[in-house]
Amino acid sequence: MKTVRLTMAQALVRFLENQYVRYDEVEHRFVRGIFMLPGHGNVVGLGQAIQQESKELEVYHGKNEQGQAQAAMAFAKQMHRKQIFACTSSVGPGAANMVTAAANATANNIPLLLLPGDVYVSRQPDPVLQQIEQPQELTISTNDAFRPVCRYWDRIVRPEQLMTAMLSALRVLTDPADTGAVCIALPQDTQAEAYDYPVSFFEKRVHRIERRPPAPYAVAEAVAAIRGAKRPILVCGGGVRYSEAGETFRAFAEAHNIPFGETQAGKSAVVWTHPLNLGGIGVTGCSAANDIAKDADVVIGVGTRYTDFTTASKWLFPASAKYVNINVSEFQAYKLDAIRVVADARLALEAVSAALAGYRAPYGGEIEAARAKWQKELNRLDAIVADAGYVPEVHDENSDSWKRFAKDVGSTFTQTRALGLINAHIAKDAVVIGASGSLPGDMQRMWRPNTPNTYNMEYGYSCMGYEVSGALGVKLAIGENREVYAMTGDGSFNMLHSELITSVQEGRKINVMLFDNASFGCINNLQVGQGNDTMCTELRKREGADRLHHTGPFLHIDYAGVARAYGCKAYTVTTAEELVAAIEDAKQQKGSTLIDIKVLPKSMTEGYGGWWRVGVAEVSERARVQAARKELESHLEDARRY
């Protein structure tokens, strides 16, 4: 056997250089590059290896470990899971910073390879800098925290273990049914240890991402259920996009006259103008999808996880409805006691459609009426102006904080109007990215994609901080000739925007659309909507000796000034005219931009037939909480139990 003597870290980099995937007979490199935040535990061993062994891998300097990992996740999501970046960190706090990103990737079934440094296997210098010592077990380190949030976890305590570990890692990273975060912990002494590796381990290796065909019996059962349907509805999930089955999904809907609602992950698989596209469905959905869904007799879910936001906490669809689940994951296909078609979305849709030949759902004008009703509402949302007769979309009769915001910050610009203007004025092939706050709800309802695969919303984990960092990952995926816009609230921006600096450093232009309402707006709505007072959800100064509440002036933060300090072109806007001018000027810039949009609290969208189950107190002294509890119990009477 021919061998080559390398350190474990050198062998790792050489291995990553030679991994490829093949999908529909298209072959390309699987690992595009590495995000690296050097520190104690990776800068010497792995750092040396990257310098020596990297031939094609692109190396980027992350500014925050979570931020770089979120960028890598967004890249893989935009690439439909066909290419990845690896991320490496130091021992201890650097590694711990990536745990959130690992959970985010696993919740969304997005491949993410994490290579955190680890403490010494030999234990000779213990406790080393940044090491946690657990008296009950000396093998535990910070990296054990990755175990519950990863699809695969390993620690390389001998250099030869790298071979089996990395083959297992690539198995998971290229598995459409069960991908997610993979953590390979790299003890710093093992990184530097040498071994005579077989040369064959470093030969080009092609991982085939196969399309799993459906079983004939599953197709037959699905067809039998759909043929008997009078009001079927399709749910377009993220699996449609990852399978690159958007055109097949569209053809299926057209052939059988079945309307469809979109999940956050599935949105933009088909353009919004399609006559069967009802838009977002569920808690943050629109009236078109939810009105049709409430009377559906068969629900055909394609590539969806059926989160509580999609099903409105299992309340949206009738309890008597049947489910047909097309999903490459058996775990997901089994949900809601469905008829299961465990297969690739494209192959399954083609097989079911062929067997369903001649069937067309007997809708009359309901679909057109639902779309027309929603279009009228969209027109209204686009045009909302806070004039003398203005009442917020989300009205809290016990608070006029929006009036105080207008006084303190000097803006009466509404969030829905701002969003509509952005949608109308950015390029049709631009990609928008978001994750948390009130914007995902507004965007699932209001955003109108004119180009497929231009909507990158992370809502499986709703991770604050994904937006700006993720925009860098999207930019790396789509290239220099297209724009990316990070849609973020002030809360998320404050929590994590480190990779904005990386975008400036690398000359990779991203555009940050920062909606500043000086609050955690959607959580404030949840809080007060269930009968509670505002607490820790508004960015206001403390006034007097009140130990629980902040009732003073809203903070007026110059986010544009923050961005300028990083080297971005930045704008502050409070009117429609200023926003449009800023968008157009930003298009002319070569580097990253930020538009600080001061928007009124409570001016986001709300309602449209959804319901979200939350833990309202069963016992309370407050009448408003008691009323919220009664409403919860009334909805539970109609919700599906399993």
What is the residue-wise DSSP string for 32-83?
EEEEE---TTTTTHHHHHHHHH-SS-EEEE-SSHHHHHHHHHHHHHHTTTS-
Range of lowest pLDDT (133-142, 292-301, 365-374): 133-142
Query: Could you give the CA distance from residue 188 to residue 20 in angstroms, rounded to a whole number?
Result: 28
pLDDT tier at 536 (50, 70, 90 boundaries)? Answer: confident
**Could you tell me if 42 and 115 are in contact, meaning their C-beta atoms sit under 8 angstroms apart?**
yes
If you write DSSP's letter for every residue of 477-492 in order, what string do you get?
Answer: HH-TTS-EEEEEEHHH
As beta bridge partners, residue 301 has 235, 325
Among 118, 29, 145, smallest CA distance to 79 is for 29
486-510 average pLDDT score: 97
**Could you tell me if 566 and 500 are in contact, meaning their C-beta atoms sit under 8 angstroms apart?**
yes
Query: How high is the pLDDT of residue 463?
Result: 94
Q: Which tens digits make up the pLDDT trace of 274-326?
A: 999 999 999 999 999 999 999 999 999 999 999 999 999 999 999 999 999 99
Query: How high is the pLDDT of residue 616?
Result: 86
| pLDDT for residue 397 is more than 70 | no
Please report, for the chain, the start and end positions of each structural domain, with discontinuous segments joined by +: 3-208, 216-368, 384-598, 613-642
Which residue in this structure is represented by tokens 């497929």? 452
Q: Which tens digits make up the pLDDT trace of 342-351?
A: 999 999 999 9
Query: How high is the pLDDT of residue 387?
Result: 85
Q: How far is CA 508 from the centre of its chain?
A: 21
The CATH number fitting domain 3-208, selected from 3.30.470.10, 3.40.50.970, 3.60.20.10, 3.40.50.1370: 3.40.50.970
Q: Do domains 216-368 and 384-598 have the same CATH topology?
A: yes
Looking at residue 533, what DSSP letter applies?
A: P
pTM: 0.96
Q: Which tens digits make up the pLDDT trace of 377-388?
A: 999 999 999 987
Among 42, 73, 2, 84, smallest CA distance to 467 is for 73
**Could you tell me if 476 and 508 are in contact, meaning their C-beta atoms sit under 8 angstroms apart?**
yes
Q: Does 409 or 198 have the greater pLDDT score?
A: 198
**Could you tell me if 20 and 72 are in contact, meaning their C-beta atoms sit under 8 angstroms apart?**
no
Among 100, 79, 77, 87, smallest CA distance to 57 is for 87
For residue 102, the surrounding DSSP H or E stretch is: helix 99-107
- How far is CA 352 from each of CA 166, 328, 345, rounded to the nearest angstrom? 37, 15, 10
Rounded percentage of the chain residues whose pLDDT exceeds 90? 83
447-453 average pLDDT score: 97
378's CB contacts (< 8 A; 6+ apart) are 420, 446, 448
Query: How high is the pLDDT of residue 398?
Result: 63
Query: Could you give the CA distance from residue 249 to residue 277 in angstroms, rounded to a whole number?
Result: 11
Kindly state which CATH superfamily the domain 216-368 is placed in. TPP-binding domain (3.40.50.1220)
Q: Which CATH class is domain 384-598?
A: alpha beta
